[in-house]
Every structure is written in structure tokens, then in C-alpha cells.
Chains A and B, each alone.
Chain A
Amino acid sequence: MRFRKRAIKHSYIAVCFLAPSAIGFSVFYLIPFAMGVIYSFTKGASAGSFVGFANYQDLLASDSFRKAAMNTALFTSISVPITIVISLLIALMLNQNIYLRNWLRTAYVLPLVVPVASVVLIWQILFDWNGAINSWLSNFAVERIDWMKSEWARVVLSVVYAWKNVGYNVILFLAGLQGIPKDYYETANLEGAGVYRQFTQITLVYLTPTMFFVALMALVSSFRIFRETYLIAGDYPHDSIYMLQHYMNNMFLSLDVQKLTSAATLMVACMVIIVFVMFSLERRFSSFTE
């Protein structure tokens, strides 16, 4: 009985604490999103008639949408995991009580806080047709590569993404690594487990919750890559780095509300599924270790 009373009281207080955020959040995010979903099923933005999935059919038939969706999917499923693995390797090395540890960590995180617009010039100088990288490569008699106007643009984008985001992941991984009790390793040593076994059976297992969190945050940051692409390559970059955000931006500029909202709805639906799967995997996993 008493407990019930407390729960009710909490709800009342919770409303007070939540109200400012919830109101603004609804007005600027939730309601707009719901409106977008409705638009995606109608013809014409204002008081259009219901057209079912017609907009989605148009969307899926559109080449530029398929290209953009493909590029976004590739980037999140390849470049982002590679960055996470690199971050993990760096964190593992930093965790070895090496010299200059804090200085190195600072150096890895610093790119995160450097404004994208501030380093665009450097990317241009590096990756231009006449740029610094081609110049170095020519010393080894390697042909020039048109970095920004070929499939290589994907690689450039991945490098730029990794440069900016490795540090944040490293910080998170370091916390995860320091959270693993030292005596696990000591016991494993006594039992004669090798470095590799220790890594797979202890480190990776206990790092999994951190891994989920890193993956979640990496998903957030992977959508920020649009800024880099936009500032380096503009509205219409090379095909290989034309992302969903470019597509949506361009649909906005050409006032094609139907395509824009249906693309947005589809993207969110995919993300809800991804995050949902991630969460249920994590839940199943954490019930394993405890």
C-alpha cells in the first residue's frame, strides 16, 4: 500500500521535472516527426489526400534514393565498425601503462573538438588532384588518384570520420577496460591462459556493454559526417558519398515533400529496428554474464 502511494507521488513529481523538456521536445521533434509520417502517406503537403504507400513506391523506384540509402548503409556497416576496432586497439595499447599516456589521450581526443569547417582546407590540400597525398605518392611512382571524384571518396570520408571520432571511443573503451577486475587476468595467468585467450575470454566478454554504448554513440556521430561531406564536396558530391542526408536536403530544396518525408520515415523505421535489435542483444548478453 505504502509503495503504491509513493509510486503515484513519483508520477506527479516526475511530470514537473519532465514538463519543460517534454513540451519543447514534442513541439520541435515529436510533432514534426508525426507530421512527417502523415505527409509521407498523402499527396501534397497541405491537406492532401491519402495515397497509401504510393510515395514509398516512388521513393524505392528512385535511383538517387537507392544510391543514397546504399551509401549510408555501407558507411554505417563498414566505416563505423572499422573505426570502432581501431579505437579498441588504441585503447588496449594505451591501457598498457605506457609512457606519456595522458598526453597521447589528449592528442587523440583533440580532433573531436576542432570545428569541421576549420580543417576543410587541410582536407582539400591533402586530397586534391594536385594535392599533397598525390604528390607523396608520385615519389613512389604511383599514379595520381582523383580522391574526391572517384570511389576513393568513400575512403577519404572514412579517414576523416575516423580522425574525428577515434578519441571519443578510446575514452569510452578505456573506462570499460579499467572496469575489468585485475584478478581475472591474474587467475588466467596462473591457469596458463595465453594472451589471445585472455583477450577473447576476459577482455572482449567484459567489454561488451561498453561496445554497445560505443556502437550507439558511433551511430549518432556517423550521421554527422554529412557536414564534412557538405563542406568538402558541396550539395552534389561524387556518387559514392552521396548520403541520405544529401538526398533529403536536395528533396527539400526541390520542394519534393513526399519523397523527403517518406525517405525520413523509412530511415527512422530502419534505425528503430537496428537499435531495438542492439538492445535486446545486450539484454540477452548481460543476463549471460551475471
Chain B
Amino acid sequence: MNRRSSIVKTIITMLLSLLAILMLAPIVISFTNSLMSEQEIGSNYDLIGQMAVDAASGKDAFVNMKIIPDWVSFEQYAKVLIATPTYLRLFWNSVYLVTFIIGGQVIVAALAAYAFGKLRFRGRDKLFFIYLMTMLMPFQVTLVPNYIIADKFQLLNSAGAIILPGIFGAFGVFMLRQFIKTLPNDYIEAATIDGLGHWSIFLRIIVPLVKPGFAALIVLLFVDYWNMVEQPLIFLDDDYKQPLSVYLSVIQEEAMGVGFAASVLYMIPMVLLFLYAETHFVQGVQMSGIKG
């Protein structure tokens, strides 16, 4: 029995490892390809986007996706970092937008989430349902009126048009409310008996306990806004104000090799943040799913 189950375990592990390799492949290939010289990239991927199919030449008419570079070179990275000043400028734009959105949303959402999760007031569940629906809506739903409002506040073509709606996004409220709801009420009752007000309860009891929730929220918001495409395309006219998520495709089209290096540099902050916060992130996501 025991031997059989360890064989089953080995088979499942192998199966899942294979799947994991497939999942990681796009990331790994991006990385290794970023270490190829422009010449090698050119000879491998020249055929991308070309319709001509030459039946006679057969196999040669395909791209040659390679994992290991013939020759490791940091040429592309040098080009991105030194020869393309726009890259750093736009990278900074991304950092700047994301930092303000996350910082703002975490604070605003934590306050509201405490009210939704632990306080009793009229219309609470209805209001929360409205937040929930907003969270589900794609950005395009409120495109026109948002544009008009941004125009009224003179936010068009400025970072504010992206940061302000970002700060008040419903996702943080939802996520943290789910988390706060799972915290036992005893803590709050005990604190109330000790004479603590809600403000001190929030700061001294709730905030420290919600740490995994914050970690999960920060990672998920980072994922969302580091990736944003729709908002900057609509609200920002000037190229130099765009975040990298939009502009990366322009770099990629200009020169594929540089594109790979730029892509890898762009994913590094995300990946590092995730690996750093992984334990808390997983715990936070899992706790948010416990109570409906």
C-alpha cells in the first residue's frame, strides 16, 4: 500500500513538474532570449509577421525559437539602459503611477473595509454590493463620463487622471473587507471593554492583523496597474507620459532584441516583489476567499 502510494506520488509530482515547466517557459525564454545578440535574434525571428510561405523551402520558412543563446551578450541591456533614455523615463512613469495608486488605495480601502467588515450600519450590504459590481466592471463601462469628469477637474493628459480613479478603486475595499470579516470579534469586544475607541481599535488591532491582506492587495494592485493599458491610452496624449506597459510594444516592434531586454527589466520588480511577499500573499488571498 505504502509503496503504491509513493509511486502515485512520484507520478503526480512528475506530471505537475512538467506542467510547471510549461508555465515557466515563456518567462525563461524571454530571459534567455534577452541575452542574445541582435544578429542572433534577427536570424531566428526574421520571419515573424511575414505572410510569404514558400512551400518549396519547407521547414526553413519557420522561425527558430531557441532557448539557449549561441553567445551570451549583454548588448541588448546596454542598449536599453544607455542608448534608450526614453526607457528609463517611462519606467519611472510606471513606478510613479503605481506607487501613488497603491499607497492611496491601501489607506482609503482599509478604512472603508473596516466599516464594511466590522461595523453595523444601515444599507451596509447594499452599498457593498454596489462596490462589488463596480469591481467587476471593465474600465470601458464608464469611459465617456470618466473622460468628462477628468476634463472638468483638468486632469486630462496628467497623471492625476489615472492616479485618482486608481486610489478609489473598489478592489481594495472588497479584498480587505473579506479579510477583516474573518478576524474574530472577540478582539474588538475586549478592546471596547478596555475603553478603546474605534480609531484606536482600527490602528492598533486591525491594521497589524491585516498584514497578509495588505500583502495580497499590494501584489494584486501592483499586477493590475503595472500592466495597465486602457487608462493611459485614453487619458494621456503625450508619449513621454505613458507608462512602460503601453510603450513596451513600440520598443518591441522597433527592435525585437532590445524588446526582450526591456521586457525582462520590466518584469523584474514584479517578480521580486512577489517572491519577497509570497508567503503573506498566499495567506492573504486564501483568507479573502473564506467568507462570502
Contacts and interface: CB of A to CB of B under 8 A. Distances in A.
B119 A17 contact: yes
Contacts of A171: 282, 285-286
A17 B115 contact: yes
Contacts of B53: 129-130, 144
B229 to A, nearest CB: 5
Main secondary structure of the interface of B (DSSP, over half): helix
B51 interface: yes
A289 interface: no
B289 A176 contact: yes
A288 interface: no
Interface in A178-230: 179, 209-210, 212-214, 216, 219-220, 223-224, 226-227, 230
Contact of B27 (A110, A167, A230): A110
Interface string A248-269: 1100100001001100100110
A255 to B, nearest CB: 9
Contact of B164 (A14, A28, A248): A28
A13 B136 contact: no
B144 A252 contact: yes
A7 interface: yes
Name the 7 nearest CB pairs between A and B, nearest first: A24-B168, A32-B145, A175-B286, A135-B62, A21-B112, A248-B140, A107-B20
Contact of A110 (B23, B50, B252): B23
A279 B168 CA distance: 25
B111 interface: yes
A161 to B, nearest CB: 13
12 contacts: A10-B119, A29-B165, A33-B141, A131-B62, A138-B59, A138-B62, A167-B23, A172-B285, A227-B229, A245-B230, A248-B141, A261-B144
A125 B141 contact: no
Interface in A101-146: 103-126, 128-132, 134-135, 138, 144
Given A103-B20, A171-B285, 7 more contacts: A21-B112, A28-B149, A90-B19, A98-B12, A115-B226, A130-B48, A244-B138
A50 interface: no
Contact of A163 (B26, B33, B136, B264): B26
B134 A260 contact: no
Interface string B1-21: 000000011101101110110
Contacts, number: 314
B229 A271 contact: no
A152 interface: no
Nearest to A124: B48
Contacts of B267: 113-115, 118
Given A25-B170, A129-B51, A121 B259 contact: yes
B93 to A, nearest CB: 13
A124 B33 CA distance: 14
Nearest to A167: B23
B121 A14 contact: yes
Interface residues of B, number: 108
Interface string B92-127: 000000000000000011011011100111101001
A132 B171 CA distance: 38
A20 B289 contact: no
Given A96-B9, A175-B289, A227 B230 contact: yes
B27 A117 contact: no
A214 B98 CA distance: 26
B63 A135 contact: yes
Contacts of B148: 32, 35, 45
Nearest to A33: B142
A231 interface: yes
A275 interface: yes
Contacts of B58: 138
Interface in B124-164: 124, 127, 130-149, 164
A227 B227 contact: yes
A275 B132 contact: yes
Contacts of B287: 175
B111 A117 contact: no
A73 interface: no
A109 B20 CA distance: 10
Contacts of B8: 96
B36 interface: no
B289 A22 contact: no
Interface centre among B45, B119, B124, B249 (most CB of A within 10 A): B119
Interface in A1-53: 7, 10-11, 13-15, 17-18, 20-22, 24-25, 27-33, 35-36, 39, 45
B176 to A, nearest CB: 11
A99 B13 contact: yes
Given A14-B121, A171-B282, A226-B230, A31 B149 contact: yes
B278 A132 contact: no
Nearest to B131: A25
A252 B140 contact: yes
A98 B145 CA distance: 52
